[in-house]
Structure 1
Amino acid sequence: MSVAMKGLRNHITPVSKIIITSRSKNIATFGTTEALQLDFLPKEAFWYFFKTIAFGSSNPEEEPKLAAVCMEIAVLMNGSFIGAHVIGGILRSNLSGQFWYTFLEYYRYFTGWYIHLQGEHQSDMFKKRSGLTYIWSYKNWSAVTATFHLYQISSANLNDLPVIRTSELLTRDIKLEGKFDALEWRSSVPPYYSYMVHHEYGTGNNHDVITAIESISFTIDRYYRQHQGVEENLRKLHRMLLRIQAIVEEAHGRQITNQAMLLQLRMVRAVMYRGYYFLDNFRYRTVQAHAQDEVGDRSLGLSPFSQFKRFCFSTRTRKIASEVLDQKELQKMLGHLENIVSDMQEFVAFVSCYPRMSRQPYCSYLLLENCMFGRQIEQEKIINFLLEPNHPSAKGINVLPIIGPGRVGKSTLVEHVCHDERVRKYFSMIVLCSADSIGGGFLTDTGLIKHRNPTSTGQSLVIIELADDDMDDRTWTRILHNLRGEHITPVSKIILTSRSDKIRAFGTTEALHLDFLPKEAFWYFFKTIAFGSRNPEEEPKLASICMEIATLVKGSFMATHVIGGILRSNLSAQFWCRFLKCFRHYTDMHISVLGEHPSDAYTKTSGLTYIWTSRNMSVVAATYSLHQASSAQLADLSPILSNDVLTGDVEPPEKFDALEWRSSIPPYYNYISHYEILAQPPDMLPKRKRSRSLSEGLV
């Protein structure tokens, strides 16, 4: 390098800047400034790029079925730019659902097969200049072994070569012999490279997929000798998760006051949920295709391919392809949990020192429908705040803001805190009120009295729920002034709940932020609601469908109880497959037309939505307003059950009230939606007719 630098110094126009490009990180030491590291696009950016290439001038939002297939193909592309242009061009040339389905089906299996044989993704060949590869054809379902040499040429040189395009190899029945050059991609941007591959293979080496699989039978058999070890690792993982679960449940039953212990409990619980999610995902992914074959429904995967079924890609081979990719992750998860378990002896010893909680009977039920899920640590944090002495700077009142989106469970969490025996013994009065109701009068006149205990400390707890999610400084100053006034039981603590982050400034302690559960914890919750008293491990086909439905629900507690109740009422794979099919396409349509997920409707009090039913696949636009009602108000409304609308048991009228969910835990809210079906789609829904026809075409 030093010799080259000396050669650059003696020029009529002196060299002032040098750019060095290389695949090696060693050149970083040659720079006079920080090296620029380029990597392939992240999956989100690559998806945006690939769908544009694949759809061309067509709009993906108008073709939700094709877009769903395209997203799966994009994942298989592994971020390859050249592969994106080759395969994107093939898809763009034939915007047929059947063609895209068939292409995806074969591409998926070839990818798994290639990884198993070569130990790398087929797109990795573009990162090297030469090596061994397989050339596959979607048209005649064949694969051949060949060596390759990748090189770049100019457009002028390309015109002199009688080349075959790689896209033609993939889509046409072309007989290949001996040696040939294939044009992978002709770039239309500077430096306008034409990427060529020179292939060589012997005449007797052309094998169809059956022969290729037979030729690697030794490799498959060797894998299956190792497969027993994989199954044993899964059982070991399950046993460790059960141990961690026992520790977590024991800790949840203790009155832990130490903040560091609560933080450690949160971490252990998150690891447990991640472990169960990984275990279930590993188990259920491989039974999905077999489940759809048995129930005769293609909603879990793609179209049936009788020609493809003649080859030896059985469930056994599919299982190999997926598990080979996951074995390293399994070992990693197993090692992580082993470290967690080995380090938990002190944690268990400390937990046993804390007193047990007195639990209500419903908290011991196996069904999580009857208890608050995933908020025990937050509950203990609030209780610790309520029972600690007041901060001197608070002028007699300490304030805890609780912030979170709508329907995330703020009121439920606070209600459980108020039902805790320690809180009820400590406060003489607990009052729930709104910001507008707090005046200069008696505290008992400001809101709903939740609890009285004349024999306690003589202090009051005030809970303020902000209906409009916002409050200015002047209003807050007025509220504090009124609550600091002369009361029979002085106010010492305030809990302030809102969706707005602005209330953070009103707290005397750090605000508590609530969010929806992470996907691992939500899956643990959703499968329990959906299966009820049944064990998901005994129903792997249903569990694989359930995992897909859980992903579509997007963490909504209310939707979990609605949809989970529907699934629990009919534990039939055929029913679950059909429900998933309807729910998936309804979700895609809702996002495409309204620009939001259906679950987002539950986080707002009113808006525009779609009502759908899984029986006849009908979809109608409607306005809605969501509110909470007491049991007495519910009796006056006589609402329709939303479950009955979704399953098609009830035909919704033009205007109606629907009971979304009747909570069985404090504060026992009844969630009611008032719907008004629109006679004509509004101007903001230009694609509604098209989306509706797509849904109806799925029957």
Structure 2
Amino acid sequence: KRSSAQGAQGRNKVTKRKLDLGMEVLISAVVGDLVSRFISFLAQNYGTQTCVEEDRRRLELILLRMHMVVEEAEGRQITNRGMFLHLKTLIDGVHLGYYMLDRLKFQSLGEESVEDDEVSNWSQSLAVSTFSAAKRLRLAVAASIMKNAPVAFGTGSTTNLKRVLESLEAKTADMREFVVLLGSCPRLPRQPYCVHLYMDKCMFGRHVEKEQLINFLLCDDSHHDCTHISILPIIGPHRIGKKTLVQHACKDERVCNHFSHMFFFKGDDLRNGVFAFNNQAASGKYLFVVDFIFDVDEAAWTNFQSYLQKLPGAGIKIVVTGRAEQVANLGTAQPIRLKSLSQEEYWYYFKALAFGSMDPDDHPKLASLGMQLAALLQGSFLGANILGELLRANPSTEFWRGVLSSIRVLVREHMSSFGTHPEDLLGRNFPVNFGSAALVGGPAQGYLVYDLREAGPAQSELPKLTSQELLTGRDIPVEDKFEVLVWRSRIPPYCDYVVTYEKQKNHVAVRKRQRKS
């Protein structure tokens, strides 16, 4: 019995030792696996981070090269159409690269998570409500646009950086021939330094189109057509910069020295016969600029051309501007089509207006808020100048966040109710419901905004109340209806924009008026 008991104890000890040894091996294996995974995780993160930093440095060097070539090209007189197209791609690439760098700098601030939560909660609240099928469709479109409106920060930034880098490297690889051809182009007269110092005092984003227009005006093609009349159409949406482009080209020293006479008309002037300005016209070269606000009156246009045939000038150039595609049929040359700025190019412009002399790198939170705000404006030049001046005067994170929230609510309400952006409604002269949420620090008062227009010469006195004062809630008139000076342009043609504000007394009546419009 003793021997059997001792044998059992021995076997138990051996078994226990085996179990302890097995547990030690298992624990060692598990710990080793965890340690190896942790090391691999750290190595992978460090490798990814290092790769992103290297790609960022490569992108900065590429942008430096491209920026030098673009700046040199903008100081040369280019006449080759292919070189214009190449310059356009280089300019787009520069804006894309700087936009990508700003995304990498400001993406870690977490501003986007707040917006994503707001959009998610708003979408959920819409899902449980009962609306008509058409309204649900508008709300779905609005939710989609509002979710995509802010800058798309996130995990795809590394992949996007790779794509942008590859695209710009391909552009720089084809840049050598362009640089060689650029050396044969004559230099342009240098512009004053103040033109480049202040963004709101120069025309932005239209250098290629401006040089194309100037080349058309300076080209002597009278021998190609016995009528010696050349016509260039410029087509684009409302308030896209057609008249600004023409005015800058006409004020160029080369154009001023080339033409003996310059005349500017509107479509109604042709209909009323105002173009018969001088029965004893002098000889020389003539330039006519005709702005068609609406459709072209064919009979008035034919009468205008017949009158030009009688002029003794050695060459006549006509530039016609308009929104309708009908304007393109009037031209003898390929039309210049103006489009809205891309998101990358618009951010470059908006950043310069909103920060002024401040460095955005020193204010990363403001830059993050500014990128989201610029995405909501949908390329509006008027909106960029109004809000840019307002933000530049109030460099506060709380103020910028309040402006972003107000504009976001304004866009959201109109997208949900009408399925379109407030800027589009104003462009079509439809009223916009400028609710109390759109005021930063102002009273709880809603407005109906409509009739955005350029103040003509007949308007002797401009409104004293500015949009900056109204948006911040200062000096609001007691009248129920009043006019506001929205913005005064500092570049030719120096337009003053005025809009009508009407206080909302009856919200039901306001909504009925909007739906009717």
TM-score (norm 2): 0.78
CA distance in 2, matches of 1:441, 1:561: 35
Contact 1:410 1:497 in 2 (8 A): yes
User: 1:371 maps to what in 2?
Assistant: 202
Q: CA deviation at 1:427?
A: 0.6
**1:582–1:617 Cα contact (<8 Å) kept:** no
Computed over aligned residues only, the root mean square deviation of the Cα atoms, in angstroms, reads 3.2
Would you say how many aligned residue pairs link Structure 1 and Structure 2?
A: 443
Asked whether the equivalents of residues 610 and 619 of structure 1 are also in contact (C-alpha less than 8 Å), the reply is no
Q: What residue is the counterpart of 2:13 in the other structure? A: none
Residue in structure 2 matching 1:427, options 241, 255, 259? 259
| 1:576 aligned residue (388, 400, 403) | 400
Residue of structure 1 equivalent to 2:351? 527
Distance change (3 Å), C-alpha of 1:325 and 1:360? closer
Aligned residue number for residue 286 of structure 2? 460
Aligned pair 1:344/2:175, yes or no? yes
Residue 517 of structure 1: aligned partner: 341
3-state SS, counterpart of residue 441 of structure 2: coil
| Matching residue of 2:295 | 470
Cα distance, 1:620 vs. partner? 2.0
- The structure with the largest helix share of the pair is 2
String of CA shifts for 1:339-368, please: whole Å, max 9, x gaps: 322332221232233222224426643332
The residue type paired with residue 657 of structure 1 is E
Kindly provide the amino acid, as one letter, of the partner of residue 648 in structure 1: G
Query: Are residues 248 and 616 of structure 1, via their aligned partners in 2, closer, same or farther at CA, if it must alter by over 3 Å?
Result: same
C-alpha distance after superposition, 1:227-263 (max 9, x if no partner) = 1331232122122212212211221121111111111
- Residue pair 2:350, 2:374 contacting (<8 A) in 1 also: yes
2:392 maps to amino acid: R
- Residues 683 and 390 from structure 1, CA distance in 2 versus in 1: closer, same or farther, beyond 3 angstroms? farther
The residue aligned with 2:23 is none
Report SS of the residue matched to 2:156.
Answer: helix
TM-superposition CA deviations, 1:376-431 (whole Å, max 9, x none): 10011111111122363462211111111110000000000101111111110110
Aligned partners of 2:369, 2:306: CA distance in 1, in Å? 56
> Is the 8 Å Cα contact of residues 269 and 275 (structure 2) preserved in structure 1?
no
- Tell me the distance in 2 between the aligned counterparts of 1:624 and 1:464: 27
Give the whole-Å Cα distance in 1 for the aligned partners of 2:412 and 2:349.
Answer: 24
Return the match for 1:334 from 158, 165, 168.
165
- Give 1:272's match in structure 2, choosing from 94, 114, 117: 94
Give the CA deviation at 1:465: 0.8
Matched with 1:259 is: 81
1:223 maps to 44
Describe the SS at the equivalent of 1:640.
coil
Change in Cα spacing, 1:590 to 1:651, as seen in structure 2 (3 Å) is: farther
What letter corresponds to residue 361 of structure 1 in structure 2?
A: P
1:380 is aligned, of 190, 197, 211, to: 211
The match for 2:67 is 245
- Structure 1 residue 602: Cα displacement: 4.3
For residue 178 of structure 2, what is the amino acid of its counterpart?
F
**Contact in 2 for aligned 1:640/1:658 (Cα 8 Å):** yes
What's 2:26 paired with?
none
* Contact 2:504–2:510 (8 Å) recurs in 1: no
Whole-Å separation in 1 of the counterparts to 2:501 and 2:191: 37
Percent identity reads 35
Q: Which amino acid aligns with 1:333?
A: V
Q: Structure 2 regions of 5+ residues with no counterpart?
A: 1-33, 120-152
Stretches of structure 1 lacking an aligned partner (at least 5 in a row): 1-212, 293-297, 304-321, 447-451, 689-699
Secondary structure of the corresponding residue to residue 685 of structure 1 = helix
Which has a greater percent of strand? 1
TM-score, normalization by structure 1: 0.58
Task: Pick closer, same or farther for the CA change 1:248–1:680 going to 2, 3 Å.
Answer: same
Higher relative contact order by CA 8 Å / sep ≥ 6: 1 or 2?
A: 2
* Structure 2 residue 188 is the aligned partner of structure 1 residue 357: yes
- Aligned partner of 1:656 in structure 2 is 482
Change (3 A) 1:387 1:463: same
Deviations 1:285-306 (A, max 9, x none): 22234x99xxxxx568559xxx
Higher mean displacement: 507-516 or 588-597: 588-597
1:412 corresponds, among 223, 238, 244, to 244
What corresponds to 1:479 in structure 2?
Answer: 304
